[in-house]
Chain A
Amino acid sequence: MATRALDPRSLVREGEVHRSVYTDPDIFTLEMERVFGRAWLYLAHDSELPEPGDYVVRHMGTQAVILTRGKDGAIETIFNRCTHRGATLCAFDKGSAPHGHQCPYHGWTFNADGTVRFVSHPTNYSGVLDPADYAIRRVRTESYRGFVFGNLAGDDGPALLDFLGHMKSTIDDLVDRSPTGQIEVGKYQLRHYYRANWKMTFENLNDTIHPGFAHSASVVSAKAVVADVGADKVVPTVGMMLANGKPIQFFQDIDMVTTPGGHSYIGGHMGAGYTPDTADEYTRGLIAHHGEEKAREVLSLDRHLMLLYPSSFWHARYQTIRIMRPVRHDLTEMIGFTFRLVGAPEETHVNAIEYCTGANSAASPVIADDLEIYERCLLGNQYGPREWIPMSRGIREDRARDNALTRSPATSEAFIRNQFAAWSDYMGRAT
């Protein structure tokens, strides 16, 4: 399809979107440049890089980058690519390189900030090539409360806090749940992938109408087993499946919040608690840290997922962040991280681990159904005369609107329209 010649903004109308945004490889290529090349992307947490020289490899769109803690303690982000012949520098997800990143091919070595530390056999280059011209591209990096973000647009992009806007309150929510103010990333990550477009996840995770249909089999099975074992014996994972069986009116009554930039969240609805002992100990710790009033405020905030467009999903109550990695227009990876609330009872982390397993494992009955649906939508959107996909559900139902945010019923597709408003804005700007 000759979409390159098209203005991508013409693919988004009020209440509908053209199906090629999910199926066209050229659109995907343009998204990598204009959306993932401009938005702030969550990359890592401070606690993943405790010592100078520690590094992790992450992706910004399809570009692999290395985040390294430098000698001065600052975290630097550079492309994972040698400036000599282009070979990948780091083959591992994480490690320690206190003496710089050395290319396996000819041994060129780079500092955390991408400057050249060493070029092999430099006499050959005398008067020919200046190593200072061969620094690896450094990515603008900023962090908020320990969460490190990168922006490929460099100084052309907004400040991180402007990008986050109201959504920084979800990051606050996550950190404020710690009775010491400290959180620490869990050691293990959980990944799944699917053969469909990255936007499918963004349009599915806070869609409250699909669970009653797509996940009905797990609801039926969970109810059957609960009838057997007794409602007081339900384990959290099965509780999660049951939550998908709530009546639609329940979600109609909950708020969805959308903000500029394509971000959104909906109100909490899973309502899982801790055991009484843990809840008491945890609450005491939180009061000791924040004082009574602030602690109650923290505990009373009940939000489901925050979708931070275009690359991450945050659940503060369950201390889980998922990073979405677009690989191709028809291939997407999701990477789940849990966080430990330092000083909180161990059960709080186990609770996060159970949530992450249920929400991000390819073997989770809920996720398996979602992945199947994403792939069926990709197949269905490749052919046939119907080219426009409606996203008009609830378009006349917005509840409140100001500069910072819009409130709609959680059953609305307002979050999808909001994502495509941001998409259209990113994609419409050529430079």
Chain B
Amino acid sequence: MIEIVRELIEREAGLLDDRHYEEWLAMFTPDCLYWVPVSPDMAGPREGPSHFRDDRQIMAVRTHRLANPRAFGAEPSPRTVHVISGIRIEREDADEVVAVSSQIMLEYRNRDRFEDDQRLFGGRVRHRFRRTGGGLLIAEKRVDLINANAAFNAMAAPL
């Protein structure tokens, strides 16, 4: 199972890095949650505001927008690379598999601002996979950034 999960987590990050958003969306269940909370203490997205608090519909709008040349906040588009380490399975049962990993995302947008154009995001990522007829789909992706409580500048690329 760890090998299956590793392949899925690396594939998910790779699709984001390659900006293959339709395939990325297809890795999630229809009722999924893509969540970047403002605190690791938050038990659910109804407890307070979040950086990302996306259902499938918001994910679709967000990624559709990234492909639009008039999305100023993503002009030019950010380039990203994810580095993933320490994948382990936290829980596994008949319906679900939960895996955690440590991830760093390096992001670059050329805005003529030298080193300010490159940023690092990092933290603990938790994938909750659901077993379906078509294999494992992501029911929830939670990203606990180490600086979750900090103020951020515009974030266009999903983490």
Contacts and interface: CB of A to CB of B under 8 A. Distances in A.
B146 interface: no
Given A190-B49, A193-B153, A221 B38 contact: no
Contact of A221 (B45, B50, B61, B116): B61
Interface in B14-45: 36-39, 42, 45
Given A186-B48, A191-B151, A365-B73, A235 B53 contact: no
Contacts of B62: 221, 365
B34 to A, nearest CB: 10
Contacts of A373: 72
Binding site of A, secondary structure by majority: helix, strand, loop or mixed?
helix
A356 B53 CA distance: 11
Nearest to B116: A195
Interface in A317-367: 333-336, 338, 346, 349-350, 353-354, 356-357, 360-363, 365, 367
Interface string B44-81: 01111111110101101110110010111111000000
Nearest to B70: A217
Interface in A361-389: 361-363, 365, 367-373, 375-376
Contacts, number: 137
B156 interface: yes
Contacts of A363: 36, 51-52, 152, 154-156
B73 A369 contact: yes
B76 to A, nearest CB: 11
Contacts of B49: 186, 188-190, 336, 338, 353, 356-357, 360-361
Interface stretch (A154-162, A223-231, A262-270): A223-231
Interface residues of B, number: 39
B94 interface: no
A415 B111 CA distance: 31
B61 A371 contact: no
B153 A188 contact: no
A218 B153 contact: no
A336 B53 CA distance: 15
A404 B35 CA distance: 45
Nearest to A336: B49
Given A225-B64, A238-B58, A333 B151 contact: yes
Given A190-B50, A217-B70, A357-B49, A362 B155 contact: yes
Interface residues of A, number: 53
Nearest to B53: A357
Contacts of A354: 53
A192 interface: yes
A217 B50 contact: no
A187 B155 CA distance: 23
Contacts of A229: 57
A335 B48 CA distance: 13
A372 B73 contact: yes
A85 interface: no
Nearest to A224: B64
B153 A362 contact: yes
Interface in B73-103: 73-75
B1 interface: no
Contacts of B4: none
B65 A365 contact: yes
B57 A368 contact: no
A238 to B, nearest CB: 6
A367 B154 CA distance: 7
B67 to A, nearest CB: 8
B42 A217 contact: no
Contacts of B60: 225, 228
A221 B156 contact: no
Contacts of A367: 154
Contacts of A365: 61-62, 65, 71, 73
A424 to B, nearest CB: 30
A237 interface: yes
A237 B60 CA distance: 12
Nearest to A350: B46
Contacts of A360: 49
Given A188-B42, A333-B151, A368-B155, A222 B48 contact: no
A40 interface: no
Contacts of B46: 346, 349-350, 353
Interface in B98-151: 111, 116, 149-151
Contacts of A4: none
Given A235-B55, A373-B72, A368 B154 contact: yes
15 contacts: A189-B49, A190-B38, A192-B151, A217-B70, A217-B72, A220-B68, A221-B64, A225-B64, A338-B48, A353-B53, A357-B50, A361-B50, A361-B51, A362-B154, A372-B72
8 tightest A-B CB contacts, nearest first = A188-B48, A368-B73, A191-B151, A217-B71, A362-B152, A190-B49, A221-B64, A368-B154
Interface of B: 36-39, 42, 45-53, 55, 57-58, 60-62, 64-65, 68, 70-75, 111, 116, 149-156
